[in-house]
Structure 1
Amino acid sequence: MEAAKAIIEEEITTKLEISTNNSFCVADFGCSTGNNSFPAMHTIIESVKGKYESSGLKTPEFYVWFNDVISNDFNTLFSSLPPDRSYKAAAVAGDFHGRLLPPSSVHFAYSSCSLHWLTEVPKAAECLMSVWHGGEEREDAYDAYLRQLERDLESFLKCRAVEMVEGGLMALLIPGVPEFWDPQKEYTVGSVVELIRSSLLDMAKKGRLSYAKLETFNIPYHFPTPKEVRAILEKSNSFNIERMDILKNGTFLNVDGHVACFRAVHQNMFTLKFGAETVDETFDLLKKKLQSSPAFTNPLNDRTVFIVAILKHKHV
């Protein structure tokens, strides 16, 4: 996202504290296979280089730690590393809600489209299929997901507080939803999730998958509002919020694009839970629901937002 890139460049120029150290370490938490990570790492490192050069200091050696869960395809990531990169790379496999790196070793931390994933489906939301629709059930489920996001994000920040140098910067890009939108005319990423749930329920009604499995299945992520994210970040004793921007989704997908995107994310999850033979039919149903919804007739109706938060590690 070009808007996020400009924000990161500006904050590095104005807020990053640099020193005469021989090395500068960047960590990407939730790197996946690198397609989105590599451009971000390039932007960060080039901006840091510019900061050193304008300060008359010798440019340090750059190191990038690529982190994701142990099941991530790091082979693809390392075989795809840009040949002209100006940094040395290493993989750090593990859950970023726990400690991963040495104390005071990270100068710039980055995470994009990862922190909305939860460590677990909250127990209070089990067997509640609807999070986004109205009613008391929805409110209970939504609150449970939000509390889980708060616990997970607080754990993430506590671990990074140990690993980052004083004065280091962190850039978080979190997909979310606006405070209000018109579900009759507009949609968000949460709207697509509800249609996925609806498609699974239709599959159960047709006998294509069991109600018992469906009742114990919830999707382990939460798309917060900017207000919710700010409230969580402000509780941190280790980081100051230097800047927080709300960006409109710059990638407007048509129906086929939404289906392809959500299938890429959920296919393995659905295969493990319901069997590979159900996947094609489930996403065919999703496509039909998207096509029949007036809100999805125009990609410009997408009200999904990206929350960009720049945090600075406090001096203690």
Structure 2
Amino acid sequence: MASQEIRKVTEAYPMKGGDGPDSYAKNSTYQREAMESVKELVTKGIAEKLDIDLLLPSNSFHIADLGCSVGPNTFSSVENILEAVELKFQGQGLMNPQIPEFQVFFNDHTPNDFNLLFKSLPPNRQYYAVGVPGSFYGRLFPSASIHLFHSSFALQWLSEVPKVVEDKNCPAWNKGRIHYLSSTDEVVRAYKAQYAKNMESFLHARAQELVYGGLMVLIIPGYPQGTPLSHSVAYLTLQLIEACLIDMVKKGVISEEKLDSFNIPMYSMCPQELEAVVEQNGSFSIETLETLPRVLADDAVLNAKQFAAHGRAAFEGLIKQQFGKEITNELFDLYGKKLEEELSMFKPRKTTSFLVVLKRKEK
């Protein structure tokens, strides 16, 4: 019931499609570097935690990438996982043709640019590819049909903005702001509650779809407990976008009412929050929870043009939904200029992500 209810309210926030200069495909190098930085950890996790005995006999091994976007990052992640799984099978003394065939399910919201995704599939891939549209906050697959789930830089996106932050009659109304990072305690609590609700729905759905002994490998942006959120790159990024929108309200380009009703549906978790929701769900054990090294190099941060393009690839879809496509060029041009003015503030900021490996408990 929980997964059915959340599917009704889940909204889609696709990354910018196509392969143009502002597309997500051309502006997701930070995510790619983070995924490459955990390759050894993922291989180790699969080698030590994946129960081959529980998965056999089977003539196929099913992997699902949740929030795949348009590539090429998803293909690199899948290749790394396939290599690790093959090594696991070989370590058990199995060789071709004893090793099962691989089938990979690429999942994202229905507005995702699946056309580009499948046009970009590696020609020499060693797996069968399937597209699965829909929100990962609900059921996507038959019961006990997936052996390994993967998701990178997707679980920070909430299914929806907490309703109370858009209610003028509620103490949590987030007037004049577009996120919770610099807002009131009421707004922060609303976002925390939405995150907990979403993660419970996510885990509830995956618990039904994952075979016993199967794994989930997740890369989730967040922050270490006790670290002020104002020290993060995400904080400054959203602050600058908010400042640009306020400037455009002052110019009369967009209305104050439109701004007051706009909030970014993103949440940065800390490990303790994730541990709490996993424990409450009860279907998974946490096998790995590690802080990833900072991969956003200083020269990348200090390249305003590149950083602005990354922001546009991530947020343009949301901006269009709320304000219309007519303002996007002006907004992101202004955003780029503000970035150039504030570059020195980005250098000491932290970009923190976590590698999480969850294992489906046996009956």
Question: Which TM-score bucket, shorter chain as reference?
Answer: over 0.9
Distance 1:157 1:9 in 2: 23
Match of 2:42 in 1: 8
- Residue 218 of structure 1 aligns with an amino acid whose one-letter code is N
Name the CA shift for 1:182/1:74 in 2 (closer, same or farther; >3 Å). closer
Secondary structure in structure 2 of the residue aligned to 1:201: helix
- Which digits, 9 at most, give the CA deviation of each residue in 1:58-98, with x for residues without a partner? 21110001111111111111111111111101011111111
| Deviation for aligned residue 1:132 | 1.8
Given candidates 37, 60, 74, the residue that maps to 2:74 is 37
The partner residue of 2:339 within 272, 277, 290 is: 290
Which TM-score applies when normalising by structure 1?
0.92
1:30-57: CA deviation from partner (whole Å, max 9, x where unpaired): 1011211101101111111111111112
Render the CA deviation track for 1:265-298: whole Å, top value 9, x for unaligned.
12232123212232222223322332333xx327
Give matches, 1:130-279, under 5 Å.
130-133=179-182, 137-179=183-225, 180-181=227-228, 183=230, 186-252=231-297, 253-254=301-302, 255-279=304-328
Paired AA for residue 43 in structure 1:
N
- Residue among 83, 96, 101 paired with 1:61: 101
| 8 Å CA contact 2:223, 2:229 repeated in 1 | no
Q: Which amino acid aligns with 2:222?
A: G
**In structure 2, distance between residues paired with 1:308 and 1:157:** 16
Choose from 48, 70, 76 the match for 2:116: 76
- Residue aligned with 2:38, SS: helix
Rounded to whole Å, the distance in 1 between the matches of 2:247 and 2:162 is 24
The residue matched to 2:362 in structure 1 has which SS? coil
Q: TM-score, normalised by structure 2?
A: 0.81
Count of equivalent residues: 309
Deviations 1:203-242 (A, max 9, x none): 1112110011111111111122233223322322110000
C-alpha separation in 2, matches of 1:290 and 1:32: 26
**1:300: how far off?**
4.5
Judging changes above 3 Å, is the alpha-carbon distance between structure 1 residues 182 and 102 closer, same or farther for their aligned structure 2 residues? closer
* Aligned residue number for residue 352 of structure 2: 305
Bigger CA drift: 147-156 or 264-273? 264-273
Separation in structure 2 between the aligned mates of residue 301 and residue 215 of structure 1, nearest angstrom? 31
Question: 5+ unaligned residues in a row in structure 2: which ranges?
Answer: 1-33, 167-172
Write the distance in 1 (CA, Å) between the matches of 2:245 and 2:278: 34
Percent identity of equivalent pairs:
40
Q: Which moved more, 1:88-97 or 1:187-196?
A: 187-196
**C-alpha RMSD of matched pairs (Å):** 1.7
Q: Secondary structure at the match of 1:98?
A: coil
The 1-side partners of 2:347 and 2:323 are apart by 33
Structure 2 residue identity aligned to 1:66: F
